[in-house]
Every structure is written in C-alpha cells, then in structure tokens.
Amino acid sequence: MHYDAVVVGAGISGSIVAERLASKGKKMLIIEKRGHIAGNIYDRYNSDGILIHEYGPHLFHTNSKRVFEYLSKFTKWRKYVHKVLAYVDGKYVPIPINRTTINLIYGLNLSTDEEAARYLDSVKETYNKITNAKEAVVSKVGYDLYKKLFEGYTKKQWGVDPEKLSPEITQRIPVRINTDDRYFTDIYQMMPLEGYTKMVEKILSNDNIEIRLNSDYKDIINKIDYNILVYTGPIDYFFDYKYGKLRYRSLRFEFLTYEQEIIQPAAVINYPDKKIPYTRCMEFKHATGQRCKKTTIEREYPQSEGEPYYPMLTDQDKYLYLKYEKESQLIKNTFFVGRLAEFKYYNMDQAAMSALKMSDNILKLLDKE
C-alpha cells in the first residue's frame, strides 16, 4: 500500500500531524515502538481502579486559542487549576515562589506586593549576563532561596550542577510578589475529562490512519512506499548517532496506593532536599477529580539511563544537536517535530502548536505534488 505520509511515533506530536493530514484525505501510517498510543501522556486505570499517568504527571495548560480549540474537538474538559508545594524545613510552601513562600520560610509578615518586591531586591544578585541555571534563579530570589528550593532539586533532576545547565531550565519558572499560588497562569487550564489516552484515541480515529504498534520504524521503513516522513523520536537515533549521543534525563517511577481518599495537601509535592532520592510526588486524584476510597501517588527518581524524557540543555549538547539539525534540513520530504526530534524542552501545548504548524507546512507541500 502507498501512504502519503509515514509518522514515526504516536505521541501528541505525531498524532496531531497524522490527524491533520488524514482529515485532508491523506493516507497515513503511524509506526510506534511502544505497545500503546499517546506517548508520554499515556494514562490508564491501575488494579485499584485509579487513573494514573504512566510516565509522570501531565497537566494541560495553554494561552493558545488554536491549541485549545483543536484539542477540544477530541475531548471534553474538567477545569483544574494546578498547585504545587515544596517540602522545605519541615513546611509545605507554594511553588513557584510567591509572597506566602517567603513569609513561611523566613517567618516574615510581608503584606503587600511592594514589600515582597523590596525584600527580593535586597537579596538577589546582579549579573552582567545570565549564563546558567543557577544565575537565572539567584538573579531573581537570591542565594538562600536558591539553596533551599532549587539547588538540590535541579541537581537531582538533571544529574549535574545547575551552573552547567542552560538558563532556560530555571528561567521558565516564574517568581511572584503576590499570593497567587497557581503553578500556571495560562488562560486555559484543564484536564481531559476521560483522560489523555481517550483523547488521543479520538485524534487517531480517522479511517485514513493506520497504526502499527511494537515496531521500530528502522525495521520496516524501507519496505514501505510513501511520500513524506514525519519523525518524532530522538534525532540522534535517526542518524545512527553519527556525531555522538545527545544526552537526555530519564525517570524511574514508583507507584504507591494507600487506603485513604487523599494523602497529600496538593497534587504535586516537590522535595528539594538532596537527601531524599526522589524529586516529587504526584497524587493523581487531585487532577483527575476521581472519587474513590483509595488513592495512588507516584514518586519520580531521575536517572541518566532509560527512556529519554528531558533534553540535557548544556552547551555541549546544544552544540551537538546543531550538527544533527543542520543535516536534517538537507533531507528532502522528511520533517522533525516534537521534544525529542527538535531537542527542546517543550510543554505539551508547545509540542501541539509545533505539530499544528508542521502540519500546515506539510499539507502545502503535498498539495503541490
């Protein structure tokens, strides 16, 4: 059979590209190495009947009307405002840092935005140029808050000192002088009512889409007749690591079920303490709204080996990626999209937008042929 396009990967990026092209009458094949669709946003019910995220918490939030309206065609939503606490010095404090965080940690009584701003101005450091993840934090909140809330967590998460990481790793986390304790401030903050897997199932329900699971595309791609290839996997694997391996951080997940309805004061608790081996715990029922007598939490243990989740945004790795990117641009009718293929620390909505824009470009190309 001839396919207008082959998509490697059935995660959010690959699924959106497949749906967009299939909706215009293009015959699509998706090749997925795992035994399920939805990539890292895959969720399922465990043996206790609790909906869990198999690969760590995924919270949908966006300011993009296009992304929200597109995904709304495939799911109804549950309104959900995500909140995160950090366990520091025996206390739960809001993350991102806000006025309440400062007051709780230091026993202060800052009562206005102006007082909080003056406090942060008094402790933060000034740099001519922000060059790494540590400086990005210290320039906003000073050294002590950096030590308490960021240093240990960041080192556990990435396996290297924050001084060796790109500033964008920590710059993406805001600092507030008010008491807003929302983790995200986006216009649209929702959870898919039936879960992410159900949403992706509906995205891929077009009759023009064929899916092959448990398949490495390299084993079968040369036997397939197609016009366009869309690749969402690790870009270095595509090129057989010819310039060397890009580094990613992986995670090991530990799931624990308790005989009580709720166990944590918030959906996610961060643990910056270096002595605690995991970085955070997610209690799913906060986000899903599920009601039952048991609850399940998930602990995350960062590691260097395993499934690639987070691109290592060091100067060394970004330089290596540029070599692969340059070569990828020379390949005709092959497109790279998604966190792993673009080596970018995308949020879910950013990955969705990248896929929508890529789909627009591919459709224009196919229509010319």
How confident is the prediction for the chain on average, in pLDDT? 96
DSSP result, 327-353: HHTTSTTEEE-SHHHHT----HHHHHH
pTM: 0.95
Q: Is the pLDDT of residue 105 over 80?
A: yes
Q: What is the average pLDDT across 298-325?
A: 95
Percentage of the chain beyond pLDDT 90 is 96
Instruction: Find where tokens 């760590």 sit.
Output: 56
- Banded model confidence at residue 369, pLDDT cuts 50, 70, 90: low
Domains recognised in the chain with CATH numbers: 2-37+204-246+310-368 (3.40.50.720), 84-171 (1.10.3110)
- Banded model confidence at residue 292, pLDDT cuts 50, 70, 90: very high
The predicted pLDDT at position 368 comes to: 76
The predicted pLDDT at position 365 comes to: 87
Tens digit of pLDDT for each residue in 252-268? 999 999 999 999 999 99
Percentage of the chain beyond pLDDT 70 is 100
Q: What is the average pLDDT across 240-255?
A: 97
